[in-house]
Amino acid sequence: MYIEVNDVSKVYRHKDEELQALCHISLEIEKGEFLCLLGPSGCGKSTLLNAMAGFDNALEGSILIDGTEVVSPSIKNVTIFQNYGLLPWRNVLKNVELGLESLKISRAERANIAGKFIKLVGLSGFEKSHPRQLSGGMQQRVAIARALAVNPNILFMDEPFGALDAITRLKMQDDLLNITRSQKTTTIFVTHDIEESVYLADRIAIMSANPGQIQKIVTVKLPTNRDRTSEDFVRIRDKIFDVLNMKDDKQIEYTI
């Protein structure tokens, strides 16, 4: 198995109070899989993502990627956040080149690679534009291009489309699927949007809060090109809604 989360727990302590952010979570993810972490605010989705990405290793249990324990972030496992994280003084080309600069790649090759991924996300012609000149959706495309430019093994995404308007968000979901499938990139995607998870994921890990734990793992058996209005799509969406509103302490994996 490519990613292994083994009995991971995380407790935040403040003065005399404790918050169980993660409670005995175990999860296995295959290479090339698109997995969504779904659940309400405060259920530990981002905490789990950050742990897998190597930003937080103050945990009980262990996380392995390709057999090696995660102890710190890796340039080969890139994280994209909701706030884009672009450098405002750099244009699009230079923002996309950022991760490549630490790989000892020549300037000409960096520009060539960055140009390829700028084209892939549909931003050809905007290479010299700065973030302030771009819409939110375009800025997120730059962030995705920057992440893909270093040829990551894993793409960690923490509610990356949460700040976008509804129409742009739908378009970005389609673009993300096309890109990750073409690149065969393992993707871990945090969301609280049920429909978004059903549209994107091969599997959905449904999380609950107090304490943060995985309630169910759902394998989504739908065609690659999904129709949000189809009976099967609506049925799965409604079943996941039911899971989120039921109490069940047992972690169960099933197909719907």
Q: What is the mean pLDDT of residues 237-246?
A: 88
Q: Which CATH number describes the domain made up of 3-76+153-255?
A: 3.40.50.300
Q: What is the pLDDT of residues 140-195, one digit of tens each?
A: 889 989 988 888 899 999 998 887 888 888 988 998 898 888 888 999 999 999 99
Q: How far apart are alpha carbons 186 and 157 in whole angstroms?
A: 11
Return the structure tokens found at 111: 């520009």
Q: How confident is the model at residue 105 (pLDDT cuts 50, 70, 90)?
A: confident
Distances (CA, A) of 219 to 50, 96, 118, 157, 235: 23, 34, 32, 19, 14
Domain-by-domain residue ranges, the chain?
A: 3-76+153-255, 85-151
Q: For 71-96, write each residue's pLDDT tens digit.
A: 999 888 999 887 778 999 999 999 99
Classify 129 as helix, strand or coil.
coil
Query: Where are the strands (E) in the chain, listed by range?
Result: 3-14, 17-29, 34-38, 60-65, 68-69, 77-81, 154-158, 186-191, 203-208, 213-219, 252-255
Task: Provide CB contacts within 8 A for 101, sequence distance 6+.
Answer: 110
pTM for this entry: 0.87
C-alpha 128/C-alpha 122 separation (Å) is: 14
